[in-house]
Structure 1
Amino acid sequence: MSAFSDALNVTAAGLKAQATRLRLVSENIANADTPGFRRKSAPFKLEQGEGTLDLVKTGRVQFDRSDLELIYDPSHPLADESGHYEGSNVELVIEIADAREAQRSYEANLKMFDQTRQMSSSLMELLRR
């Protein structure tokens, strides 16, 4: 394989991994007020690609095992006899920070993909001469 296709494969894998991360962050934010919801995340891991090429992939989705927030609302249908129910363990500040980091990483991979494509086009143009 050429260096160009290797670079495109690496950046495409990075784009896919960051897109998965953004999807999970979006799900976490959407369910921040859902009682009993646990924050989701997916760890990154390296997988062997073609030849000696390592590609980043996302692992299995994991649920945050930290304690759920206890909310006092005796009128809530899920409230126990003391008037409490379990909320979610999603913290919006953390999710926003994760979303920004994933967005910037996605943009960096996209820029690398575009640069590789432009270099490949320039090389093809030079070879035509």
Structure 2
Amino acid sequence: MSLFNVMDIASSGMSAENVRLNTTASNVANANSVSSSYDSTYKARHPVFAAELKSASAAQDGSVGSKVQVLGIVESQKPLQIEYSPGHPMADENGYIYKPNVNIVEEMADMMSASKAYETNVQMTDTTKRLFNSVLRLGQGS
């Protein structure tokens, strides 16, 4: 595996973690929203990742590498929070309001995990850049 592959893998990882951070931020921002119907209530969203493998026959240099691919963003299947609140202005005809299925504690843990993964990919690119510079200095004879 060349150092260029390392940079590709790290950059795809940073892009994927950026998507994860954005969806988590969206979930947190909508956690306290209220709706008057089940269908119009915000549902937590989560990105789906996969490893995108590069086959040995497709690689020009004979190395095999992989990248992180974002397959899409899916809505959580957890049940929504339904609360009886007949005096609420958003209550339906039966007096119920609907709240998102967002768990703030889980979202904060996911945000911290995504942040650490992003930071790890940044450190990997910095280390690779230092290696490139060291190799270039070796070629200069210093």
| Structure 1 length-normalised TM | 0.92
Equivalence for 1:26: 25
What does 1:1-129 align with in structure 2 at a 5 Å threshold? 3-35=2-34, 36-49=41-54, 51=59, 52-129=64-141
SS at match of 2:124: helix
Aligned residue pairs, count: 128
Match of 2:117, as an amino acid? S
Deviates more, 1:52-61 or 1:85-94: 52-61
How far did residue 111 of structure 1 move?
Answer: 0.4
Which whole-Å deviations, capped at 9, do the CAs of 1:23-66 have from their partners, x for residues lacking one?
00000000111231100001110113462321111111100011
Larger radius of gyration: 2
> CA deviation digits over 1:54-88, x for unaligned, max 9?
11111111000111001232233331233211110
Unaligned runs of at least 5 residues, structure 1: none
State how far apart, in whole Å, the 1-side matches of 2:19 and 2:139 are.
38
Structure with higher strand content? 2
Q: Structure 2: which 5+ runs fail to align?
A: 35-40
Q: For residues 76-126 of structure 1, what are the alpha-carbon distances to aligned partners after superposition, in whole Å with 9 as ceiling and x for unaligned?
A: 333123321111000100000000100111111110110000011111011
- Assess if the C-alpha contact under 8 Å between 2:51 and 2:69 holds in 1: yes
The 4+ residue runs of structure 1 with deviation greater than 6 A are: none
Question: 2: CA distance between counterparts of 1:31 and 1:128?
Answer: 56
State the secondary structure of the residue aligned to 1:29: helix
Point out the structure with the larger helix share. 1
Amino acid at match of 2:6: A
State the percentage of identical aligned residues: 27
Mapped partners of 2:140, 2:87: distance in 1: 75
